[in-house]
Amino acid sequence: MRVLHVLLSLGEGGLEQAAVDVALWREEGVEIHLAYLAEPSDRREAIERHGIDVHGPLCASGTSRACAGALQKLVDELDIDIVHSHLTYPGNWCAALRAGGKVRRVHSLREQVDKLAWYGRKFLWPKIIARADRLVCECASVEVDVVKKYPAARGKTVVIPNGVDASRAAARRTRGDVRSEMGIPSDAMVVLQVAPLTDRSRGHLFLIEAMRKVYNEFPYTYLLVAGELRNPGLLDEMNQRINSLDLHRRVKLLGARDDVADLLGASDIFVAPSLEDDVPAWLVEAMIAGLPVVATAVGACPEVVTDSETGILVPPGEAGALATAIMELSANPVWRQRLAAAGREMAQDTYTLEHVGAKHAEMYRALVAGKG
């Protein structure tokens, strides 16, 4: 059985990484290919080293109508059984493949419909859903949303969460070395957020406000914020907030990092303060790394974190509640360890690539056998 995953690009974003992770999962009898529509990428060689055949870029632009012809040609040449698209434009061009024949169409939906661009919602998604044989939803809340907005999706959906490569959460350097490099004392409490600086939806600003309250009670607490800078205006606003709250000695804005696993190993608490994210990309990886987590009760976070059992949930945008959760964990190492252990066990049982990859393979086989 040959499966072709189709992405817009091989970018570094969480959605792209989730799609690549699925493609990297290997199972006997499943031959995986990966195609991307546009934007040359230096990640190609790294993916090919895993034994995945990578094809692309297929076109100059992922929105070009030429993508349909290029994709059809590739599907025919490779004799593909399953085409699995990720994101809107790849889904649109996969929906345009010739009807009939053996090819089955699968599309992954990783965010609620209202977050998609209006043009896609109105003109592209009805076609994607109508022609899909299976719609893979990242979480139950996305499944409920897509069926509500598009009744044609009913009976086509399946919930399979994003898989996490557990090896990515393994630190390469010691906790002491990482802290020493950043000038952080070995006995300090370290809080970590990993999220790109895109807009206010990631909750950076209200986390900084919460840290002012934390610092008043626990002055040896540090906040590390790692993430690609995509919005200079947000960075300026964060720096202004940090300086106005006199936190410049305790908050470190690290920018994009390729050593997030080392940062996880050097930290004590992981925070996902998103205002509308479905599942923050590094939340599950932090749990696998053995960190207690604090997350806002938005999107699918309540599906990942069971409050006071595998982590702590707080209302979005409420700095006081976020500060209280961080301080409670800071003051109680036994509770930190208990939440971290329960969270790690849950994540390893549910979100590893082995678990998620097996679910995808089961779905593919059912579709090819005509049982899906």
Mean pLDDT of the 10-23 span: 73
Quote the pLDDT of residue 318: 96
Mean pLDDT of the 193-199 span: 92
Mean pLDDT of the 217-244 span: 95
Q: Which fold has domain 2-163+352-368?
A: Rossmann fold (3.40.50)
pLDDT averaged over every residue in the chain: 91
Q: What is the pTM of this model?
A: 0.86
Nearest to 303 by CA among 346, 344, 270: 346
Quote the pLDDT of residue 18: 74
Which segment of 8-17, 88-97, 243-252, 344-353 scores lowest on mean pLDDT? 8-17
Quote the pLDDT of residue 123: 87
CATH number of 166-350: 3.40.50.2000
pLDDT of 35 over the 60 cut: yes
pLDDT in tens, 137-146: 988 989 999 9
Quote the pLDDT of residue 17: 75
Quote the pLDDT of residue 194: 95
pLDDT in tens, 61-80: 999 999 999 999 999 999 99
Long-range pairs of 112-121 with CB within 8 A, sequence gap ≥ 24: 112/141, 112/142, 112/145, 112/146, 112/278, 112/299, 113/145, 113/146, 113/149, 113/150, 114/145, 115/276, 116/88, 117/88, 120/88, 120/92, 121/149
> Which residue ranges does the chain devote to CATH 3.40.50.2000?
2-163+352-368, 166-350
pLDDT of 167 over the 90 cut: no
Quote the pLDDT of residue 372: 57
Mean pLDDT of the 324-346 span: 97
